Amino acid sequence: MKKNSFARWFDKFCSRVTHITGSSSAFMIALGVIIVWGVTGPLFNYSDTWQLVINTGTTIVTFLMVFVIQQSQNKDSVAVQIKLNELIAATTHASDHLISVEDLTEEELLVIQKHYQKLAELTKKKANIQKTHSVEEAIRRVEEKFQLKGK
């Protein structure tokens, strides 16, 4: 499916804005604006207009950021789902029923969740976390992967 030019532009724009606004620099700028606004309060006698400036500005920024952040989260969510689907598809003993599990109803998800909760309980009873997550186990798994790939 080919994206139109606006959708491509908006995608790049949202990625950049999300990255920039999530930075410490953006936080410091926002904090600076609030400090300047607070310091100028006495100059404007804490007037209604003075209050309206910050209220209007923050409301507009918040309103627009909801859409920007939601677009970025939607994109990230799809990417994560694709990666998880690849892992499920590539794993021999994984259930293919879990591919696109995000499309199930809440009721169907609860049934699957109960299955995995029971599996987790059984695993806790039988597994020794120190043995299943040892350095030696990690080395063995890496060696097996390279042998499977013929490297």
pLDDT band at residue 131, thresholds of 50, 70 and 90? low
- DSSP string of the chain, one letter each residue: -PPPHHHHHHHHHHHHHHHHHTSHHHHHHHHHHHHHHHHTTGGGTT-HHHHHHHHHHHHHHHHHHHHHHHHHHHHHHHHHHHHHHHHHHH-TTS-GGGTTGGGS-HHHHHHHHHHHHHHHHHHHHH--HHHHT-HHHHHHHHHHHHHHHT-
Which residues are CB-neighbours of 75 under 8 A, at least 6 positions away? 11, 14, 15
| Amino acid 99: pLDDT | 86
Answer for the pair 120, 127: CB distance below 8 angstroms, yes or no. no
pLDDT tens digit sequence for 2-54: 668 999 999 999 999 999 999 999 999 999 999 999 999 999 999 999 999 99
Q: Which residue has the higher pLDDT, 151 or 99?
A: 99
